[in-house]
């Protein structure tokens, strides 16, 4: 075991090395000791501008994949073995301060085989945190003991404030794998993830997964102030520099600035991508597939269009990959939400009812493009099968550069609730009437809404009706009614598809000429055989 580096030795070390994008400079402002147990590299001057120049320069060179330390060893660190490797919190970055949110680090393993460089940043100077096996508690027979001190980390997470007694066991945001990161919401539960960028998702060729290859962590010592994280992105088709200003609020709020540089043409470039899991819900009743009523991290895509319309698209687990585009200009926001918060709708101890909703808020005009939703088939909850992102209208060509500014809200609900009522459930069954022969190939929809905008309906002072449009087929028997024992209203109609092609449906409730609800969208795929 190597001797821990002391504060005296830390401040004495003024050896400076030149690294691409990190400029050596004098130690005018010495870094505070982040942890007595951590080994650190030499100090180098850092700024977001130099990181951006580094990404720009990398884009002009062939892509070099991130290092994969001893693949023959790392491949044997399977899920079970990886779960037995625990980072020692006494070795956390800023375990004793002055940073308020100590950082701990993830070990490489079978599912996270690439290593990343992680630096501590203070007063404009960065020092790499050097990997050491001694930072981790692991079984004596763990294959991970065979890894050298040059292995590196797979990623990192921020623990809760040191002012909390439970900070050693509670974390609130994590960066791990490719360009993935995730945070807890207002209900203190992890769920869906975000990514730095989407490259060629749902294209005929394999999707590309660029990597955050280096991180720079700049801590705060004040509650309410953001932690600043900078990241270098590198992939076969593009590079990028990212700045995350992350606040621990009721949930987590991230202000993100990114500058991207394309090495190659990209068929499908997606900004602010969100990744989630949807297996089934009340919309799709699957017999004998699982004992629980519902299983999903998110149950719908919400969009606030540039024109001010509120859209809600319930998620679907399709039988084949499907990409849906919602064309827009200057969107106000979109997100994958978990609206169902009733435990009895899940009956599971993994807290699906507490999974966060994630909302994307552009902080500048994104122009013309589309919110795209990719839904992949899944037969288990272990697979993320839902992706949503913004795709700009202009083709992504080699040499293009992009500057993005947006905010991510990890909360229980969307941060800017609409004045209109919202959709809370979508139910589908056989068409026709109970007690009568059910016509083949006819399907009944019940779309439920709730919200104060519907309150006037209870006093019969507003004449309301469902407004339904369909891309094909015919709609009949439409009406609306209150749901007994609730404050909800539902719109009911029968759909007779024409042929076996998917049907795009659109519905909202209109009262006295005004929209009382958000607009419900749904893509119905008639089952084979009717």
Full DSSP string of 406-456: EEEEEESS-SS--SSBEEEEEEEEE-S-TTSPPPTT-EEEEEEEESGGGGG
Q: CA gyration radius for the chain? A: 26
Burial label, 386 (beta-carbon count in 10 A; 0-12, 13-18, 19+): buried
| Residuewise pLDDT in 10s, the chain (530 residues) | 333 322 222 222 222 222 333 443 333 333 455 665 799 999 999 999 999 999 999 999 999 999 999 999 999 999 999 999 999 999 999 999 899 999 999 999 999 999 999 999 999 999 999 999 899 999 999 999 999 888 999 999 999 999 999 999 999 999 999 999 999 999 999 999 999 999 999 888 899 999 999 999 999 998 889 999 999 999 999 999 999 999 999 999 999 999 999 999 999 999 999 999 999 999 987 777 899 999 999 999 999 999 999 999 999 999 999 999 999 999 999 999 999 999 999 999 999 999 999 999 999 999 999 999 999 999 999 999 999 999 999 999 999 999 999 999 999 999 999 999 999 999 999 998 887 888 899 999 999 999 999 998 888 777 899 999 999 999 999 999 999 999 999 999 999 999 888 999 999 999 988 999 999 999 999 987 66
Burial of residue 509 (CB within 10 Å: 0-12, 13-18, 19+) is buried
Do 143 and 136 touch, CB atoms closer than 8 A? no
pLDDT confidence of residue 35: 62
- pLDDT given for residue 448 in this prediction: 97
Is there a contact between 450 and 470 (Cβ–Cβ < 8 Å)?
no
Domain boundaries, the chain: 1-268+396-417, 422-524
DSSP state of 382: T
Reported pTM: 0.91
- The reported pLDDT for the residue numbered 433 is 83
pLDDT score for 284: 80
pLDDT for position 34? 65
Region 1-268+396-417: CATH code: 2.70.98.10
Query: What is the CB neighbour count within 10 angstroms for residue 403?
Result: 10
What does the H/E/C string look like for 373-387?
EEECCCCCCCCCCEE
Predicted local distance difference test score (pLDDT) of residue 129: 96
Domain 422-524: what homologous superfamily?
Immunoglobulins (2.60.40.10)
Please give the backbone phi and psi of residue 146, each rounded to the nearest 5 degrees, phi first: -80, -10
The span from the CA of 311 to the CA of 325, in Å, is: 13
Please state, in angstroms and rounded to a whole number, the distance separating the CA atoms of residues 355 and 412.
8
């Amino acid at each position: 075991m190597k001797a821990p580096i002391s504060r005296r030795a830390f401040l004495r070390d003024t050896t400076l090395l030149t690294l691409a994008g990190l400029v050596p400079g004098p130690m005018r402002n010495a870094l505070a000791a982040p942890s007595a147990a951590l080994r650190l590299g030499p100090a180098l001057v850092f700024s977001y501008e130099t990181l951006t120049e580094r990404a720009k320069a990398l884009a002009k060179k062939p892509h070099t994949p991130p290092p994969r330390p001893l693949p023959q060893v790392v491949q044997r660190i399977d899920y079970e073995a990886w779960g037995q490797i625990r980072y020692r919190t006494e070795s956390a970055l800023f375990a004793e301060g002055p940073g308020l949110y100590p950082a701990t680090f993830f070990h490489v393993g079978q599912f996270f085989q690439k290593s990343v460089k992680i630096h501590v940043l203070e007063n404009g100077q960065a020092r790499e945190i050097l990997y050491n096996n001694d930072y981790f508690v692991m079984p004596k027979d763990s294959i991970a003991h065979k890894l050298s001190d040059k292995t590196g980390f797979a990623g990192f997470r921020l623990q809760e404030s040191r002012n909390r007694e439970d900070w050693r066991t509670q974390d609130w945001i994590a960066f791990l794998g490719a360009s993935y990161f995730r945070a807890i919401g207002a209900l203190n539960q992890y769920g869906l993830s975000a990514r730095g960028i989407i490259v060629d998702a749902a294209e005929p060729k394999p999707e590309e997964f660029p990597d955050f290859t280096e991180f720079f962590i700049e801590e705060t010592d004040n509650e309410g102030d953001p932690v600043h994280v900078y990241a270098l992105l590198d992939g076969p088709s593009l590079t990028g520099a990212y700045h995350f200003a992350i606040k621990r609020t009721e949930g987590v709020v991230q202000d993100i600035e990114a500058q991207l540089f394309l090495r190659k043409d990209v068929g499908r470039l997606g900004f602010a991508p969100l990744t989630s899991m949807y297996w089934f819900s009340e919309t799709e009743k699957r017999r004998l597939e699982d004992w629980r009523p519902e299983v999903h991290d998110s149950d719908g895509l919400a969009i606030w269009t540039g024109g001010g319309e509120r859209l809600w698209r319930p998620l679907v687990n399709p039988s084949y990959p499907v990409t849906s585009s919602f064309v827009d200009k200057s969107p106000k926001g979109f997100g994958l939400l978990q609206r169902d918060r009733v435990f009895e709708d899940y009956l599971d101890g993994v807290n699906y009812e507490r999974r966060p909703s994630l909302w994307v808020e552009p902080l500048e005009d994104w122009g013309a493009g589309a919110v795209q939703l990719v839904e992949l088939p899944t037969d288990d909850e272990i697979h993320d099968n839902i992706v949503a992102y913004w795709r700009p209208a202009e083709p992504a060509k080699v040499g293009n550069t992009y500057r993005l500014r947006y905010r991510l809200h990890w909360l229980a609900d969307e941060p800017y609730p609409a004045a209109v009522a919202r959709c809370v459930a979508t139910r589908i069954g056989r068409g026709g009437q109970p007690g009568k022969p059910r016509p083949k190939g006819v399907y009944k929809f019940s779309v439920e809404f709730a919200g104060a905008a519907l309150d006037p309906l209870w006093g019969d002072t507003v004449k309301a009706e469902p407004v339904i449009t369909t891309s094909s087929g015919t709609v009949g028997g439409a009406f609306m009614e209150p749901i007994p024992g609730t404050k909800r209203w539902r719109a009911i109609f029968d759909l007779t598809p024409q042929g076996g092609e998917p049907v795009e449906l659109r519905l909202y409730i209109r009262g006295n000429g005004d929209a009382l609800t958000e607009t419900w969208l749904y893509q119905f795929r008639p089952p084979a055989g009717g």
